[in-house]
Chains A and B, each alone.
Chain A
Amino acid sequence: MVLNNLDGKMLSKMVIFGARNLTNNVEYVDALNVFPVPDGDTGTNMNLTITSGRKEVELSTSNHVGEVAGIFAKGLLMGARGNSGVILSQLFRGFSRALEGKATVDAKQFAAAFDGGVVTAYKAVMKPVEGTILTVAKDSAKVAVETAEKTDDIIVVMEAVVKEAKASLDRTPDLLPVLKEVGVVDSGGQGLLTVYEGFLAKLKGEELPEGASALSMEELVSAEHHKSVQSHMSTEDIEYGYCTEFMVKFEEDKLNESPFNEEEFRNTLSNHGDSLLVVADDEIVKVHIHAEHPGEVLTYAQKHGSLINMKIENMREQHTTILESDKKTKAKKPKEKANYGVVTVAMGDGIADLFKSLGANEVIKGGQTMNPSTEDIVKSIKEAHAETVFILPNNSNIVMAAKQAAEVADARVIVIPTKTVPQGMAALLSFNPAQSPEENEASMLDGIANVKTGQVTFAVRDTSIDGVEIKENDFMGIADGKIVVSHSDMEKAAQELLSNLIDEDDEIVTIIQGEDASDKDVDALVSYVEEKFEDVEVEVHKGEQPLYAYIISVE
Chain B
Amino acid sequence: MSIEMSTKLGKIGITTEVISEIAGGAAIDCYGIVGMASQKQLKDGISELLKKENFSKGVIVRQQGEEVHIDMYIIVSYGTKISEVAHNVQNKVKYTLDKMLGLSVDSVNIFIQGVTVTNP
Contact = CB atoms under 8 A, between A and B. Distances in A.
- Which of B79, B85, B91, B119 counts the most chain A CB atoms within 10 A? B79
Interface string B97-120: 000000000000000000000110
B69 interface: no
Contact of A124 (B29, B34, B92): B34
B91 A90 contact: no
Contact of A86 (B26, B32, B34, B118): B32
A330 interface: no
Interface in B14-31: 26, 28-31
Nearest to B75: A126
B73 to A, nearest CB: 14
Nearest to B74: A126
Contact of A80 (B77, B81, B118): B81
Contact of B84 (A82, A120, A123, A126): A82
* Chain B interface, DSSP helix/strand/loop, else mixed: mixed
B80 interface: yes
Nearest to B34: A126
B34 A125 contact: yes
B63 interface: no
Contacts of A80: 80-81, 84
Contacts of A36: 26, 29-30, 88, 92, 95
Given A37-B95, A124-B34, A125-B31, A82 B88 contact: yes
B118 A123 contact: yes
Given A36-B92, A86-B80, A129 B29 contact: yes
Contacts of B88: 36, 82-83, 86
* Chain A interface, DSSP helix/strand/loop, else mixed: helix
Contacts of A227: none
Interface residues of A, number: 25
Interface string B52-79: 0000000000000000000000001111
A431 B53 CA distance: 59
Given A39-B91, A82-B88, A86-B88, A125 B33 contact: yes
Given A36-B30, A37-B91, A86-B88, A126 B35 contact: yes
Nearest to B117: A123
A124 B77 contact: yes
A290 interface: no
B11 to A, nearest CB: 25
A85 interface: yes
A86 B85 contact: yes
A166 interface: no
B79 A120 contact: yes
A57 interface: no
Given A83-B32, A83-B92, A125-B31, 13 more contacts: A36-B30, A77-B79, A80-B80, A86-B32, A86-B80, A86-B81, A86-B84, A86-B88, A123-B77, A123-B119, A124-B31, A124-B76, A126-B33
Interface of A: 36-39, 77-78, 80-83, 85-87, 89-90, 93, 120, 122-127, 129, 134
